[in-house]
Amino acid sequence: MGRDFCDPAKGGDEDSEMRLKKTIGYFEGVSFIMGTIVGAGIFVSPTGVLQYSSLNVGVALIIWTICGIISLMGALCYAELGTALPLSGGEYSHIKRALGSPLAFLFMWTALFNKPASNAARALLFAEYAIQPFYGECQAPELQKKGLALAVLWFLGILNGRSVKMATWVQTIFTILKMMALSVIAISGIVLLIRGRKENVARFENAFDAEIPDAGQIAEAFFQGLYAYGGWWSLNYMAEEIKNPNKNIPRTVMTALPLVTLFYLLVNVSYLTVLTPKEVVSSDLIALTNYFGFSVWLMIGFTCTSLIVLRYREPNLRRPYKVFLPVAYGMVAISLFLVCAPIVWSPKVQYIYAFLFVLGGLLIYVPFVHFKIHFAFFDKITCYLQLLLEVSHANHKYE
């Protein structure tokens, strides 16, 4: 069980370092990114995007397009970091190197709760759509939905624990199935538009007639849309396992993100071809995506700032791929807008709670990391968890 390691003692590598095997190629990388991004979010986020866009169809479609562009920009920034420093720690390693341990710890603290919560929300959404058809107009039992969601999380956790190569193979199969399903939805909508029936095209002829949302609403609409694009950063966590990462990370990013954006636009057009905006927003399946998005984009801002800092602080660091630097500045500005706009224009106490939660990590960092307060029994717990999860210290040197 565990990740696929290369053991130098058995002739697996040229030097004495413990490192992960390179098992992921270009096609597997594209499949992994698309499979990670495309999920239940595309069935839920259109409701939130349209709702926060004040039912303005034109604004909603523009937001979906810009969300795709933002995700591509972010992925290209992460591609530079992933190729220059292909460490399995991902953003944590990059933030720590550029901005220091406190901010890196805050990232880890936030991710420790955010990522499991986000995965749980996605699993529950999957279970909702998987079970509900068997109950018709009746509401599916909550126990069955939670049981299926838990089974999915256990299955994926065990699969990833056994082998990255096996997980990638399963991901490829499911990616193909998901893209086939989206293709059916997209083609159906295109066919209806081509037929030109009045009720199908009316919503696009007057796409901008509804009210224009304010800056706070636009930020919240972006949170909803970007939730559906969530996962574009995932390839960097496996940078160490990618074959020829210098070429494959940028290539996979520049292939996968435009394809996902195109599919998402076509799916949204299909929804609006069949349903009115009011019918689309009648769904009650908006999760806590805005509050996940708030903390996630704060951390993305830190990561893109790390890229800029490293460009100036370590100009001689080997960078096989370099993103156009204004793209990184743009990502920092976008992150700042997404974090600040909801607080300024549509303040809600939940955003204050989210911000205080992020800062709450300092209550752990200051005594136990900065001042190094130490309890002996933590060593035993750490050792047990390292053996259980087969964790090995990173042993790479990137100068």
Map out the domains of the chain as residue ranges: 5-373
| Residues 267, 110 contacting (CB under 8 angstroms) | no
- Tell me the three state secondary structure of residue 5: strand
DSSP state of 84: H
Q: What is the pLDDT of residue 11?
A: 47
Backbone phi and psi for residue 266, each to the nearest 5 degrees, phi listed first: -65, -40
Q: How far is Cα 182 from Cα 184, in angstroms, rounded to an integer? A: 5
Tell how strand 5-6 and strand 19-20 pair up: antiparallel
| Residues 219, 345 contacting (CB under 8 angstroms) | yes
Q: What is the pLDDT of residue 162?
A: 75
Residue 320: Cβ within 10 Å count: 16
- Tell me the three state secondary structure of residue 285: coil
Q: What is the pLDDT of residue 164?
A: 66
Per-residue pLDDT of the chain (399 residues; tens, 9 = 90+): 345 555 544 544 444 555 667 777 888 888 888 888 987 788 888 988 999 999 899 999 999 999 999 999 999 999 899 888 887 678 898 999 999 999 999 999 998 888 888 788 888 888 888 888 888 888 889 999 999 999 999 988 888 777 767 777 887 788 888 888 888 888 888 888 887 677 667 777 777 888 889 888 898 899 899 989 988 888 777 766 788 877 888 899 899 999 999 999 999 998 888 888 888 887 655 575 677 788 889 999 999 999 999 999 999 998 888 899 999 999 999 999 988 888 888 777 888 888 888 999 999 999 999 998 888 888 888 888 888 877 766 655 555
Q: What is the pLDDT of residue 396?
A: 56
Handedness of CA 320, 168, 158, 116 (dihedral sign): positive
Q: How far is Cα 120 from Cα 36, in angstroms, rounded to an integer? A: 14
- Name every residue whose Cβ is closer than 8 Å to that of residue 68 and which is 6 or more positions away in sequence: 229, 257, 258, 260, 261, 264, 265
* Cα–Cα distances in angstroms (integers) from residue 2 to residues 28, 173, 174, in the given order: 20, 22, 22
Q: How far is Cα 177 from Cα 180, in angstroms, rounded to an integer? A: 5
Full-model pTM: 0.85
359-373 tens-digit pLDDT: 999 999 999 999 988
The fold for domain 5-373 equals Amino acid/polyamine transporter I (1.20.1740)
Residue 270: Cβ within 10 Å count: 21
| 102 alpha-carbon distance from chain centroid | 23
Helical (H) or strand (E) element with 19: strand 19-20
Q: Spell 366-383 as b/e; 16+ CB within 10 A means b.
A: eeeeeeeeeeeeeeeeee
Up-side HSE of residue 264: CA atoms within 13 Å toward CB? 35
